[in-house]
Amino acid sequence: MTIECDQLADLLPEFFDGSLSEDQSDAALDHLANCNTCRLTVDELEGVRNLASEHGRLELPSDAKQRIRRSVGLD
């Protein structure tokens, strides 16, 4: 099974979820091994996901946390 760039693009959500079938996964990896453009794109998309997980989460300031805990009846 061989795939083209646009077919790989369609598979990317499942590729990142790790939910491709074995055949699809093999075809995706085979395509990436031979296509610099797609490999760069996938690396950058992986970078987006890493950036989001490392810098995207916010922490509610502790004063607000205490105030809201009290207001919802937890303290």
Partner 1 sequence: MHQQHESRLEPGWLFDTFVDGVYTLAYRIVRDRNYAEDVVQETFIKVIGSIGTYRGEGPIAAWIYRIAYRESITVTRRRIEEPLDPTEAMVRADRATKSVEDEVLCGELAGLLDEAIGALSEPVRAAFVLRDIEGLSTAEVASALNVSASAVKMRLARARESLRVQLEEYLT
Residue from 12, 24, 25, 32 binding partner 1 (CB under 8 A) = 12
Asked if 14 touches partner 1 (CB under 8 A), the answer is yes
Residue ranges in the chain assigned as alpha helix (H): 5-17, 22-34, 36-55, 62-71
Separation of alpha carbons 12 and 57, rounded Å? 24
56 is a contact residue toward partner 1 (CB under 8 A): yes
Contact 42, 13 (CB under 8 A): no
The residues that touch partner 1, with contacts defined as CB under 8 A, are: 12-14, 17, 40-41, 43-45, 47-49, 51-53, 55-61, 64-65, 68-69, 71-74
